[in-house]
A = this chain, B = another copy of it.
């Protein structure tokens, strides 16, 4: 927290909870999210999990802010450390005069003058609370009743924030109500104990870090995976087949619960190949189909995704990117699948690659994915990533009233009457696709090179002509939609630094941009939702007004920077890392400043 926010009534506080996985760290975090939401604050969370089921350290960072929140925050104001390992792994990155609340039953941190340390014997306090009511409960219930550790922590945190306890008490009533009065009483008293314990140590002059905000409009508290699932449902998804994989499983789990009510089918396939095969069958049969996976699964889908491109079958393939090659860093984040999404096929068939750029955007970009798949009868690879997919954040509810859905082109009666041609060589390359059941529309869909009817053919002339027809669809797509599929931030005029990026970096880049602009640096930001076919025109126009172009990305080799090179010949400054963690907005900000200071070989007018 910067000094003035602490005094003013604006709120911007970053809390980080660390503890043994399974220890309740996540529960406490979720409760805090709920408290902040009730106070009308915007929330932005970020979590990392160990790759094991139990054991290992969980990190749960949440930022509460009055007004739009674009990142989990660069520096931590309040660190809650429930164990030693968590503290040593995630103890750095604190803001000046940050507060450390640590479990003094577990460990004692080395003293540090830049920190206010507050000890909380959380397990002891919790056990005392349970003791206090043991006589009121009989054995079994008592045995299964956990000591109110999280509630003590909650009280302590609320006190640290200088927040009123009432909302927390209401919350406890709601959650523990059905467990009986004594349990409620125990928790309320635990809450107060935690709070009191902290206040005593803080003494009188405590800063008030959170100020409730009046919210006119109801907001949603959702993860990226949830928004993607709801976007798919909004887009008319009727068939989902998938195979579980971290961090994409949540999508299938969500749809398994919700899709039946929308008349849809969800099947857990035996592997990713079967999952995509089922989707292609369903889409061939006329239903909007999607599968979702992560890198290893996308690798297995390469052959069938190519069939979809060659046989011209619409399908949405979601890749929630995770860290590392092969099994790699399964619970961490990355943007390292861009190459595979774009180039992952033997020889070449047309394909679209889109990327979600925030939890809120995920809803709409998912709808774009379905519409483009239908309009251009090809596979659409929809990129998300672990950080965005598993993050909970507050977003305004999407206004679905003017939702526009596009349907694939089906044959007209004339086309059916006079020798129907499934792969008719049209001007925009889009051919009429008959849905089984259509009288006179019988044809055989095939991945072998074929003529307009769909019969196999291998002459050089035919091969060239049909390939040209298929790829003309991508040119048409750029013409019709590219403008809508890039987003502009920062200055609309000449810029010292232009930033081109994609995916979950949008928020941190916007934050860095605002900060740099507030300091007089002219920064423009072009955010790509469409990556393939590449919006060349839009990128060139953007670059033409920037003295330098910076491309930040979470990849090892600079996959996006290279993809820009291939399509535009621009030489760009690449800012990259691929260590499993997202960028801090300060990482971006620092690079902006460096570039703004360095001399340049002038603008890109070519």
Contact = CB atoms under 8 A, between A and B. Distances in A.
A557 B470 CA distance: 13
Nearest to A326: B447
A337 B580 CA distance: 30
Interface stretch (A39-47, A138-146, A305-313, A539-547): A305-313
A281 to B, nearest CB: 16
Contact of A556 (B300, B330, B348, B581): B348
A447 B579 contact: no
A566 B572 CA distance: 12
Given A299-B302, A467-B578, A348 B325 contact: yes
Contact of A346 (B50, B336, B446, B565): B336
A577 B328 contact: no
Interface in A48-106: 50-51, 89
A330 to B, nearest CB: 8
Interface in A295-339: 295-296, 298-300, 302-303, 306-307, 309-311, 321, 323-332, 334, 336-337, 339
A562 interface: yes
A262 interface: no
Copies in the complex: 2
A555 interface: yes
Interface in A323-375: 323-332, 334, 336-337, 339-340, 342-349
A506 to B, nearest CB: 21
A463 interface: yes
Chain A: interface residue count, which band? 35 or more
Interface stretch (A174-182, A452-460, A489-497): A452-460
A269 to B, nearest CB: 16
Contacts of A458: 50-51, 329, 331-332, 580
A414 interface: no
Q: Which of A310, A321, A463, A566 has the most CB of B within 10 A?
A: A463
A149 B464 CA distance: 37
A48 to B, nearest CB: 9
A124 interface: no
A586 to B, nearest CB: 16
Contacts of A336: 346-348
A215 interface: no
A448 interface: yes
Contacts of A321: 346
A471 interface: yes
B310 A325 contact: yes
A537 interface: no
Contacts of A334: 347
A348 to B, nearest CB: 5
A327 B309 CA distance: 12
A37 to B, nearest CB: 30
A57 to B, nearest CB: 10
A440 to B, nearest CB: 27
7 closest Cβ contacts across the A-B interface? A295-B346, A326-B447, A336-B347, A460-B579, A325-B349, A310-B326, A343-B343
21 contacts: A51-B448, A51-B456, A51-B458, A89-B459, A299-B302, A299-B303, A307-B326, A310-B326, A311-B326, A325-B348, A329-B458, A330-B448, A339-B343, A340-B346, A343-B343, A343-B344, A347-B578, A461-B579, A463-B578, A565-B565, A566-B566
Given A325-B347, A464-B579, A467-B556, 13 more contacts: A51-B456, A299-B303, A307-B326, A325-B345, A326-B448, A331-B458, A336-B347, A340-B345, A340-B346, A343-B343, A471-B556, A565-B565, A569-B569
